Structure 1
Amino acid sequence: MSTAHLVLSYYSSFVIVASFAHLIRLDYWWIRMWDFPHLQVALLTVLGLFAWVTIGPNVDGLLWILPIGLIAAAGYQGWLIYPYTPLHKREVQSRPRSKDEQGNDPNTLRLLTANVYQENTHQPDVLALINKHQPDIVLLLETNEVWKKAMQPIEKTYPHQIHCPLENMYGLLFYSRLPMVSHELRFLIQDDIPSIYVQLTMASGQLVHFYGVHPMPPSPTEHYRSTERDAELLLVGKEARRKSGPIIVAGDLNDVAWSHTTRLFQRVSGLLDPRIGRGLFSTFNANYFFLRWPLDHVFVSHHFQLAQLTRLPNCGSDHFPILVSLTYKPDPANTEDLPEPEGDDLKETHEIIKKAAETE
């Protein structure tokens, strides 16, 4: 075997393992980390196949398994990514545009959510972004007292607020023009990881259930497993399923759109992903274009149509902000294809939540 074939064999073996490692249902970070880079791994499979065609067409013995494995891996990666392309049917319908629209529809709300990165000193850029786009709701994550003070200029414009500044990279600031009927600052799984539940009233009088979340990710520097993150998302999903009326779940989920956990969350909650049929809208890492995936999410109930979904310019953070405009326009036809629990979904959800609770 030539040196080129040997190197290509090791490369192909790594890419194949990286493609399917996330299917192992263990919650350790070194397994769950492979949920994230599917777009990057897809590119590696294509490069590997090109290399086999270029330098390895005469494959001896069992080595032919490797290019076949790469073909399978490429197909699998494509299957995962395909829903987040314009080729796929959209989960959330687009709102028809009107030439006479003035942008003051009482049934439309605009949400800006951003993980601003606690150590980021570009607070004026974030304020400028808020002033430029004039969202109705602002959710800022990884905020401490420095950020709380820096955001004081918008407090008059956004009189309805929830402040939970923390120094552990999980602080949360929420600002709303829309009146809050009720609100809760919650610590669902971990005592130092906050989330919020808010009942908002749109200008039309319609009540909206809003959840803001930022669970801890599995990583060598934060948590050795994903159980706590998964449990928090699934608790929110179960609660959202029981609510009537329009629902929004937003924030940095520290999970990617195509992961088993996020898809399980969708089936448990019945919520829809506006990105499906439109694009990835990758928000992290803003500093490295070759290492980006969609970590910041907005999930909505079937009551909404999408007027706008935009990844905004970076403001010094390692995340891009997301701006979404949603119009309350329920359509009975939209309830026909809602995500529903499958197989052992409910049992798995119960076991994950129980496991997280037992270790707290």
Structure 2
Amino acid sequence: MKQQKYKCLHKLIWICSIALLLLSFIPNLFPDYWFTDIFSNFKLQYLIASVFCLVIVLFLFRRKILASFLLVLSIGFNAYYISPYYFNTEEESIKVEDRLKMVSINLLSSNTEVDLVEAYISKENPDLIVLMEFTPQWKRLLHKTISAYHFNHLEPRNDNFGIAILSKKPIEAKTDYFQLNQKPSIVSQLNFNNKPLTIIATHPVPPLGEHAFELRNKHMDYLIKNRSKFSDRLVVVGDFNNSSFSTYFQKLTETDLKDSRLGFGLLPTWPANISFLQTTLDHILVSENIQVLDRTVGENIGSDHLPISVEIGF
């Protein structure tokens, strides 16, 4: 019986080792297919599972070399993408003359936990708020908060793609559909010491199916191809429906935009209630001439996404 259990465990670890290797590499080898792109979101989970399997191999397997090699390959490949978020050394300290704190919240259109949302906003006390899945009902529920932010641009919708931006500082904002579909983004501009700052609040469609996958990718490509339309200092914030491990997200950071999480950790945001599956779909990207002073993830506010907060300096 003991020998049979060992054989079953042996086979299971081999299957897991091969599966983890395939799940790690296939999204990068075939990035243009929507289904494989989904698996790119979970590199942290693959890393943890590979380490767990490697420990079992080292302690229980008689022949360890091939299985260990496959697992070390998985660990190294996934760690390559994860480690910059914990060991970023590129950020240089600069003299900060102006600061701006902003939060991004995917409200979830069906969520009714207005007290939790308002408590989070009150605790963070940001200068600027981006709201996604902003419905007419949420507009009513957050009337108190909206009134406290005198400069705002609201695009409530009855689907999951309403969006809003609230600011304590004067902004000029407009709705832009990026020539793609009828899903609104908001392009706004603030001024610090007579220098413009563009903030783009955006929410691409989730890539569930080939057509939606193509729309999301075109959304990302639009921001890259039209970078020159926006000011030198740029912030892009929202639910990208895209993790930082996806090829299409990485194309954004090949421009002058950088991930605000670098040096602060992965800070996963979705799904809010299933911690072991969490990945980061909610992002704030900033241009290289902006310094990230702080970056955090908030507590559960009743949504399927956790809210995010960033403080930036110029």
TM-score by length of 2: 0.90
Residue number in structure 2 paired with 1:324: 310
Matched, 1:199 2:200: no
Following superposition, the deviation at residue 14 of structure 1 comes to 1.2
RMSD of aligned alpha carbons: 2.2
- From 3, 6, 15, the counterpart of 2:20: 15
- From 241, 253, 260, the counterpart of 1:254: 241
Residue number in structure 2 paired with 1:236: 223
Residue number in structure 2 paired with 1:289: 275
SS of the residue corresponding to residue 170 of structure 1 reads coil
SS of the residue corresponding to residue 74 of structure 1 reads helix
Residue number in structure 2 paired with 1:210: 199
Q: Which moved more, 1:44-53 or 1:4-13?
A: 4-13
Instruction: State the distance in 2 between where 1:126 and 1:94 align.
Output: 33
Residue number in structure 2 paired with 1:219: 208
SS of the residue corresponding to residue 156 of structure 1 reads helix
Following superposition, the deviation at residue 189 of structure 1 comes to 5.3
- From 37, 55, 59, the counterpart of 2:60: 55
AA at the equivalent of 1:240: R
Instruction: State the distance in 1 between where 2:94 and 2:124 align.
Output: 19
Matched, 1:172 2:163: yes
SS of the residue corresponding to residue 155 of structure 1 reads helix
Residue number in structure 2 paired with 1:149: 140
Native 8 Å contact 2:114 2:141 kept in 1: yes
AA at the equivalent of 1:2: K
SS of the residue corresponding to residue 263 of structure 2 reads coil
SS of the residue corresponding to residue 169 of structure 1 reads coil
Matched, 1:3 2:8: yes
Aligned length: 309
SS of the residue corresponding to residue 111 of structure 1 reads strand
Following superposition, the deviation at residue 94 of structure 1 comes to 5.2
Following superposition, the deviation at residue 187 of structure 1 comes to 1.7
AA at the equivalent of 2:117: V
Any gaps of 5 or more consecutive residues in structure 1? 98-104, 329-360
Matched, 1:119 2:125: no
Native 8 Å contact 2:50 2:75 kept in 1: yes
Instruction: State the distance in 1 between where 2:181 and 2:259 align.
Output: 29
Instruction: State the distance in 2 between where 1:248 and 1:205 align.
Output: 17
Instruction: State the distance in 2 between where 1:243 and 1:144 align.
Output: 28
AA at the equivalent of 2:313: T
**CA deviation string 1:299-354 (max 9, x = no partner):** 111232223212122211111111111121xxxxxxxxxxxxxxxxxxxxxxxxxx
SS of the residue corresponding to residue 175 of structure 2 reads strand
Native 8 Å contact 1:148 1:173 kept in 2: no
Instruction: State the distance in 1 between where 2:13 and 2:288 align.
Output: 48
- From 35, 38, 48, the counterpart of 1:33: 38
Matched, 1:304 2:290: yes
Any gaps of 5 or more consecutive residues in structure 2? 1-5
TM-score by length of 1: 0.79
Following superposition, the deviation at residue 139 of structure 1 comes to 0.4
Say if 1:68 and 1:128 are closer, same or farther in 2 by CA, change over 3 A: same
Runs of at least 4 residues of structure 1 off by over 6 A? Answer: none
Residue number in structure 1 paired with 2:251: 264
Following superposition, the deviation at residue 95 of structure 1 comes to 6.2
Native 8 Å contact 2:24 2:40 kept in 1: no
Residue number in structure 1 paired with 2:72: 71
Native 8 Å contact 2:129 2:165 kept in 1: yes
Residue number in structure 2 paired with 1:347: none
Matched, 1:129 2:120: yes
